[in-house]
Amino acid sequence: MEHARHVFRVAFVLVVVLAVVSLARGFLVPKSYGLYGPYRYDNVKEQMNARTPAYAGAGACGECHADEFKKRAAGSHKTVNCEVCHAALALHVKEDGTVVAPPVDRSFTLCARCHRKIIGRPVKFPQVVLEQHVEGPVEGKVCLQCHDPHSPKP
Amino acid sequence: MDPKIDEPHVSAPEAAPASAAAATGPGSTRRDFLSLAIRLSGGAMVLVAGGSALGGGAAPKAPGEAYDWEEHLYAYLIDTDKCIGCGSCVRACKTENQVPDGFVRTWIERYVVGMEDSHVDSPNGGIDGFPPLQVGFIATKSFFVPKMCNHCRATPCIQVCPVGASYRTKDGAVMVDGDRCIGCGYCVQACPYGSRFIHPATHTASKCTWCYHRITKGLKPACVTVCPTGTRQFGDLKREGDPVRHAIEHDHVAIMQGHLLTEPQCFYLHLDKEVR
C-alpha cells in the first residue's frame, strides 16, 4: 500500500507536467511553425504579399505611352527600362488609379551616371569626358538640349 | 540500523538484472523505480513531441493559390564584364523595398587594380553612381562588381538564428521572419558577405528577399528589371531553356568565397581573383 501511494504521487506529477508542457507549447509555438522546417511557414505567404510591386517594366509604360515606347525600342536605349530615368511606375500611377507627374531628373547627373567617363566602366561602353565634351563648367549643362534620351545619337 | 529501510545495501550483481517488471514489484529499490520513472517520462515526452510533429505534417502544399513553390528553384547571375556602375539597381531596390536611409540590400563595388596596389570603393553603395577617381598607382584593370545576398544553400545565417526567424524557402530564397526576429544580430555577424543589417525602425534583421513579392507573381526582382546592361539576371533552375540555368550549366561561373562552403546561389561570370 505504501509503495502504491508513491507510484500514484509520481504519476500525478508526471501527468500535470505533461499537461502544462503541451498547453504552453500550444500557446507559445506559432501555428505554422515546423511545417517545412524550423521556421514559421505563414511568413512565406506574408512575404509574398509584403507589398505591391513598384516597378512594372517597360511594357506597362508602353500601354499608355506607345510612341515613346516604340521610339525607345528602336534606338540604342532599347535595353534601358523607362523606370531607370522616370522612376518606378508606382510613383507615377498610384494604387487608386490617380496619375501624378513622375519625379524625373533632367539634369546632366542622370546621363552622367552611365555615360561620364570614369575609371571602372567597360572601355567599349559609350562614355564622354565631360570636360572635353562641353564648354565651361559641366554643372548646369543639360544633355537633353542636344540629345534625345529616347533615341540618342552620339 | 533500521531494518525497514531495504536500501541501499544491494550488491551490484543483484541490481543489474532488475527488469522493468521487477522494478515496480515490492522487492524493487527506490533507485530502480526512479530510473524507470525518468525513462518512462522521457518516452512520454517524445511521444507528445512526435505526435504534434506528425499532426503538423498534413499541411497545405503551397503558399498562395496560384503559386507552387515546389515548381521553382531560383538562381541569380551577375556578369561583372557588363556592369557600368550606374547604380540603377541600388536605387530600384531602395524604392521597391523601402530600404531605410543609410542601408542597402544590394550595392556595387568598384575595383581598381594595379601591380603595386589596388583600391576598392563603394560610395553609399553606389546609389548615385560613381564619381571620377584618381589613384596613386598605375591601374592595369578596373571594374564594377554588384553584390547582394547570395541566398546560400548551406547558409550560416540560418544556422545561428536562435529563434527560427531566418529560413530558406523551397524555391531557394533566404528570408527573415520579422515577427519572430529578436534583433540579436547573430546573423548579421555570421553572413560572410555582409548582406544583412538591423533595420533602424523595426530593430529586426533585414536583407534581400530576391523581391519575393515580385518573383512569386512572375516578375523579376526590381534590380534585374532596371539593369540597363543585362549584368543582373534572374532565372529558374527548374525551367527548361532558362538562360541563367544554361549559363550555370555551360559557362565558367564563379561564386563568392567558395572556401566557406556556403553554396551561394548567386553566380558570377568573369569574376576577378581580386574580388572578395
The domain limits of chain B are 12-51, 69-153+195-269
Question: Would you say how long chain A is, in residues?
Answer: 154
Say if residues B25 and A2 touch (Cβ distance below 8 Å): no
Instruction: For residue B68, give how far its alpha carbon lies from the nearest alpha carbon of chain A (Å).
Output: 11
| pLDDT cut 90: percent of chain B above it | 75
Whole-number pLDDT of residue B25: 47
pLDDT at B24: 46
Please give the mean pLDDT across all residues of chain B.
86
User: Does ipTM surpass 0.90 in this model?
Assistant: no
Supply φ then ψ for residue B150, to 5 degrees: -85, 0
Class for the domain spanning B69-153+195-269: alpha beta
**pLDDT: is B159 or B57 the higher one?**
B159
Q: How far is B117 from chain A (nearest CA, A)?
A: 15
Q: What is the pLDDT of residue B31?
A: 74
- B226 at A interface, C-beta within 8 A: yes
pLDDT at A65: 95
Contact B167 A39 (CB under 8 A): yes
- In terms of Cα–Cα distance, which of B122, B176, B129 is closest to B147? B122
What part of A 114-143 touches B (C-beta under 8 Å)?
114, 116-122, 125
Per-residue confidence (pLDDT) for residue B218, from 0 to 100: 95
Quote the CA–CA distance of B157 and B165 in Å, as a whole number: 10
Chain B residues with CB inside 8 Å of A102's CB? Answer: none
Mean pLDDT across B37-51: 57
Q: How confident is the model at residue B32 (pLDDT cuts 50, 70, 90)?
A: confident
Question: pLDDT category, B19, cuts 50, 70, 90?
Answer: very low
CB-CB contact of B193 with B149 (8 Å): yes
**More confident: A109 or B231:** B231
pLDDT at B238 > cutoff 50: yes
pLDDT-based confidence at residue B171 (cuts at 50, 70, 90)? very high
Closest Cα in chain A, distance from residue B233 (Å): 13
Is pLDDT of B16 > 60? no
Q: Are B77 and B269 contacting, i.e. CB atoms less than 8 angstroms apart?
A: yes
For position B81, what pLDDT does the model report? 96
Q: Residue B100 has what DSSP assignment?
A: P
pLDDT at B71 > cutoff 80: yes
Instruction: For residues B253-271, give the mean pLDDT.
Output: 97
pLDDT confidence of residue B131: 94
Residue B33 has pLDDT above 70, yes or no: no
**Every domain of chain A and the residues it spans:** 2-48, 52-104, 105-154
**pLDDT by 10-residue block (mean), chain A, 154 residues:** 86 97 94 94 96 94 94 95 94 92 88 94 92 76 88 87
pTM of the shown model: 0.82
Interchain contact A27–B (C-beta under 8 A): no
Structure-block grid coordinates of residue B161 = 538564428
Reference B142, options B111, B116, B108; nearest CA is: B111
Q: Specify the pLDDT at position B58.
A: 38
Note the pLDDT of residue B65: 65
Sorting pLDDT into bands at 50, 70 and 90, what band is B80?
very high
What is the C-alpha separation between B209 and A30, in angstroms, rounded? Answer: 22
Q: How far apart are CA B128 and CA B39, in angstroms?
A: 65
Helix (H, G, I), strand (E, B) or coil at A90: helix
Closest CA to B95 of B1, B221, B10: B221
pLDDT of B61 higher than 70: no
List the single residue in B26, B177, B226 with the smallest CB-CB distance to A3: B26
Q: Which of B48, B53, B133 sits opposite A118 (nearest CB)?
A: B133
Please tell me the least confidently modeled range out of B12-26, B56-70, B102-116, B163-177: B12-26
Q: Is B36 exposed, middle or buried (0-12, 13-18, 19+ CB in 10 A)?
A: middle
What is the mean predicted confidence (pLDDT) over B15-34? Answer: 53
Cβ atoms A50, B73 nearer than 8 A: no
